[in-house]
Amino acid sequence: MNLTTKKLCVLGMLSAVAFLLALLARTMPPIVLFLRHDPKDVIITIGGFFYGPVAALSITLVVSVLQFFSGSATGVWGLVMNIISSASFCCTAAYIYHRRRSLKNAAIGLAVAIVVTTVVMVAWNYLILPLYMERVSRADAAGLLIPAIIPFNLLKGGLNAAFTMILYKPIKKALQAAKVMPQAEEPSKARINIWAIIVSIFVIITCSLWIMMLQGIFGGV
């Protein structure tokens, strides 16, 4: 296979995995109110780290459309919000990482992506919620921002960022072993950073405890 064919193969595989994760997310309980954590952004971001923000946007569009046609309960507005949410996170992280491919830039990109997504989704939920949810006024939407929309997006972003840091290198090495991606140009920098893994696990545990608290499982509010 030439490089273009290999790239399309990888993007196709990542899109399939992201879609399966999106379907699995439908079976999970909401983090707060009607808002569920959708882990597909982990795979989309990894694809963006591989090939850049345009690739991340391409996977986002494919997976979001597949979600829409596979029985989404939120209709067209859900499709719009899926695209905006995933693109704001994944494309932001991929763009910053591709400016200089390093562990530091990956961490900075993911941190900035969390902030960007939270700000974007605050604005869009305020605009969109009254349009597709019955009996939700603009004032009601504003009242949901601090207790629901902001913490949800911070927690979702934290989880997705941490899982991206943990899974990026193993997935890349697996694809290189399968010879669908070229070997790393700088093998000395290809090893997994144990401190990045430790910090990521800490973030996952912290976010999970906050989610359990919001759900009333652990020190309920």
Instruction: With beta carbons less than 8 A apart as the criterion, state whether 154 and 214 touch.
Output: no
Q: What is the largest CA-CA distance in the chain?
A: 58
Lowest-confidence segment of 1-5, 23-27, 134-138, 175-179 by average pLDDT:
1-5
Instruction: With beta carbons less than 8 A apart as the criterion, state whether 77 and 128 touch.
Output: yes
- Of the pLDDT bands very low, low, confident and very high (cuts 50, 70, 90), residue 219 is low
pTM of the prediction?
0.91
**Dist CA 190 CA 192 (whole Å):** 7
| 57-116 pLDDT, tens digit each | 999 999 999 999 987 777 888 899 999 999 999 999 999 999 999 999 999 999 999 999
Instruction: With beta carbons less than 8 A apart as the criterion, state whether 58 and 11 touch.
Output: yes
**Which of 15-19, 129-133, 140-144 has the highest mean predicted lDDT (pLDDT)?**
15-19
Q: What is the pLDDT of residue 1?
A: 59
| 191-206 pLDDT, tens digit each | 568 888 999 999 999 9
155 Cβ neighbours under 8 A, 6+ residues apart: 31, 37, 207, 210, 211
The SS3 of residue 152 is: helix
Residue identified by tokens 């795979």 is 43
Instruction: With beta carbons less than 8 A apart as the criterion, state whether 66 and 12 touch.
Output: no
Residue identified by tokens 């949410």 is 85
Instruction: Return the amino acid letter for 220.
Output: G
Q: Where are the domains of the chain?
A: 3-183+190-214
The token pair that represents 141 in the structure block: 């939407």
3-183+190-214: what CATH class? mainly alpha
Sign of CA dihedral 104, 108, 113, 115: positive
